[in-house]
């Protein structure tokens, strides 16, 4: 019996991870504060999910200073784009 | 700024919960063992997710004996159908 949920990626289980990957799939990049506002999150909550996705190689960050303020911008990697697409296909297959 | 993940339902975050709701959305009912095989799960893991979804009123169970063996069958409730549909719509909106 085919396991119907095996192709769903555990890394994208949380709503916040789905939100991050969606934002970075449709934008060239997004910075920390923009994502924080878009999903109404605390710094710590967003940071932990970003760190996990970066650790998996699905997103990457660039740190810079805007004036004297540190700013971190995120982009999706090719690997992230591929994994997220597979996850969405598996979701569609499951719910059709 | 509209919170883009607020309409996603936390109760359906895990792949197993998505799997259960999908199975019960496209079948009149499904019993414990069928779902266990379809998702390759342990008894305990599946039971905890079913208990949570039942507690939320999204599914309901019927216990009976087949021969001398206890058999529990699950069906989705109207409330469950509605909540799951809203979750899927929110998912589609997020990833479009």
Are the beta carbons of A13 and A46 closer than 8 angstroms?
no
Residue-range definition of the domain harbouring residue B90? 13-95
Task: Write down the pLDDT at residue B54.
Answer: 98
B1 domain residue, yes or no: no
Average pLDDT over residues B11-36: 94
Average pLDDT over residues B47-74: 95
A2 domain residue, yes or no: no
Phi (first) and psi of residue B39, to 5 degrees: -120, 5
Q: Is the dihedral of CA B32, B37, B39, B41 positive or negative?
A: positive
Task: Write down the pLDDT at residue B1.
Answer: 62
Phi (first) and psi of residue A33, to 5 degrees: -65, -35
B49 domain residue, yes or no: yes
Instruction: Dig out the tokens for A73 from the structure.
Output: 């911008």
Average pLDDT in chain B: 93
Q: Which of the four pLDDT bands, split at 50, 70 and 90, describes residue A1? A: low
> A7-11: long-range contacts (C-beta < 8 A, 24 or more apart)?
A7/A86, A7/A87, A7/A89, A7/A90, A7/A93, A8/A87, A8/A90, A8/A91, A8/A94, A8/B15, A8/B18, A8/B19, A9/A83, A9/A84, A9/A86, A9/A87, A9/A90, A10/B15, A11/A52, A11/A53, A11/A56, A11/A58, A11/A83
Task: Write down the pLDDT at residue B25.
Answer: 94
Task: Write down the pLDDT at residue B92.
Answer: 85
A12 half-sphere exposure, CB direction, 13 A CA radius? 27
* Residue A18 pLDDT greater than 80, yes or no: yes
What's the total number of domains in chain B?
1
pLDDT tens-digit map of B74-85: 999 999 999 999
- Name chain B contacts of A95, Cβ cutoff 8 Å: 18, 22, 25, 88
CATH at residue B33: 1.10.10.10
A69 domain residue, yes or no: yes
B24 domain residue, yes or no: yes
Which of A91, A95, A96 is the best residue to mutate to test the B interface, defined by the most B CB atoms within 10 Å of its own CB?
A95
Instruction: Dig out the tokens for B65 from the structure.
Output: 């004996």
A70 domain residue, yes or no: yes
A72 domain residue, yes or no: yes
Give the H/E segment covering residue B5: none
Among B22, B38, B95, select the one facing A1 at the smallest CB separation: B38
Q: Do B22 and A38 touch (CB under 8 A)?
A: no
B4 domain residue, yes or no: no
């Amino acid at each position: 019996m085919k396991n119907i949920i095996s192709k769903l990626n555990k890394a994208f289980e949380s709503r916040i991870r789905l939100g991050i990957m969606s934002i970075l799939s449709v934008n060239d990049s997004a910075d920390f504060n923009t994502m924080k506002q878009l999903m109404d999150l605390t710094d710590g909550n967003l940071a932990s999910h970003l760190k996990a996705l970066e650790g998996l190689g699905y997103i990457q960050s660039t740190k810079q200073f805007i004036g004297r303020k540190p700013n971190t911008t995120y982009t999706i990697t090719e690997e992230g784009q591929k994994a997220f697409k597979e996850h969405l296909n598996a979701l569609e297959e499951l719910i059709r």
